[in-house]
Amino acid sequence: MIEYHKPVMYAECIEALQIKDNAIVIDATLGGGGHTEGILRANPTVKVYAFDQDPDALKFAKKRLEEFEDRVVFIESNFSDLRTQLALHKVNRIDGILFDLGVSSHQLDDAERGFSFSKESPLDMRMDKARDLTASVILNTYKHGDLIRIFRDYGEEKAAKKVASLIVNNRDKINYQTSLDLNNLLNDNMKMNPKFFIKMLSRLYQALRIEVNQEMEVLNAVLLDAVHLLAPQGRIVIESYHSLEDKIVKRFFVNQASTCSCPSSFPVCCCDVVAKLKIITKKPLTATPEELQINSRSRSCKLRIAEKLNTKEK
Ligand SMILES: C[S@@+](CC[C@H](N)C(=O)[O-])C[C@H]1O[C@@H](n2cnc3c(N)ncnc32)[C@H](O)[C@@H]1O
């Protein structure tokens, strides 16, 4: 079997899900199916509903998981449609859900997909090819201020304003279609040490990918639905690779674990908020030194776990 994607913090994720007999577990980000295979092997009675918005990933994983045919259901969809998709499959309670956010190594390596700055490739970056927004559309049409925002917020790029100005000011000469159109413009105009230049490209491409796939928006949209679907003691397990993603997850967990939403100026609590989650990881788990040595992708991974409490929702 060729390596499609090496699952990050594999054992930690399977352990975190605390899979019980006859559990229904969602893998919201199937990818190459590594984590799903681990879940299926962990208990012979577990059933997995596996989502991916990329048909290529589903095709690969279906082949890999052939032997588990009767215990895995593949769903080609954005995980933001979790509730609707599960309702279509008549699933209204789940025992665990795993999110391994971002793109797979295979998607990054496939030049045609345009995720990588190191190969000449179309400025595409869509995980779901049925959508219209591509990196090319962003570079050719977004307003100056919006380009600054995505490079700054999603790329944490200090030169966001300068890069955005270069892109916008050269639109009459350059139709941004391939990675070379962007890379050459920046290389010609930003006199930088090659090492720093590569790092900047990596931040800019990450920012474009996040915007193309609306990654922060869909994460924000799915979390409440996931918690709503979880049965008591069910686990939500999230691996994120970007500080903003991790911040969204952390804030959400803290908010859902809170028993009071009164302003801090109130002398006594007068709200009737009920905590829905217990946070299992006060601090996020990170990869072991052994894993860091063999899987560079694990470097930026933060794993957070929470458990559904046995409280009635209002
Ligand atoms: C990091 S990979 C997952 C790797 C997987 N855990 C494994 O063991 O191979 C992320 C996968 O999730 C998919 N994905 C990312 N965001 C998604 C979303 N909002 N909805 C559905 N699939 C998504 C990507 O297409 C990609 O295949």
How many Å apart are CA 207 and CA 215, to the nearest integer? 10
pLDDT profile of the chain (314 residues), mean per 10: 84 98 98 98 98 97 97 98 98 98 93 88 95 98 98 96 98 97 96 93 97 98 98 98 96 94 86 93 97 95 97 62
Residue to probe by mutation, ligand 1, list 83, 127, 129, 219, most atoms within 8 Å of CB = 127
Please tell me if the CB atom of residue 206 comes closer than 6 angstroms to any atom of ligand 1: no
Ligand 1 centroid from CA 43, angstroms: 23
- Using the mean position of ligand 1's atoms as its centre, give its distance from the Cα of residue 14 in Å: 16
Q: How far apart are CA 141 and CA 124, in angstroms?
A: 14
179, 212, 245 — which closes off a domain? Answer: 212
The answer on 238 and 186 residing in a single domain is: no
Tell me how far the alpha carbon of residue 196 lies from the centroid of ligand 1, in angstroms. Answer: 29
174 with 294, same domain: the answer is no
Domain that holds residue 67: 10-106+215-308
Whether 237 is in a domain gets the answer: yes
Share the mean pLDDT of the chain.
95
Same domain, 38 and 97: yes
Number of folded domains in the chain?
2
Domain membership of residue 79 (yes or no) is: yes
Q: Specify whether 221 is located in the same domain as 150.
A: no
Domain boundary among 192, 212, 232: 212
146 and 89, same structural domain? no
Is 195 in the same domain as 229?
A: no
Do 234 and 187 belong to one domain?
A: no
Q: Are residue 220 and residue 206 in the same domain, yes or no?
A: no
Q: Is residue 113 in a domain?
A: no
Of the residues 185, 212, 239, which one is the last residue of a structural domain?
A: 212
User: Which atom of ligand 1 lies at the shortest distance from residue 30's CA?
Assistant: 5
CATH number at residue 83: 3.40.50.150
**CA gyration radius, the chain:** 21
Nearest CA to ligand 1 atom 27: 31
* Helix, strand, coil percentages in the chain from 3-state DSSP, rounded to 5: 45, 15, 40
Task: Give per-residue pLDDT as tens, 15-68.
Answer: 999 999 999 999 999 999 999 999 999 999 999 999 999 999 999 999 999 999
ipTM of this complex prediction, to 2 decimal places? 0.99
- Are residue 77 and residue 144 in the same domain, yes or no? no
List pLDDT tens digits, range 192-219.
999 999 999 999 999 999 999 999 999 9
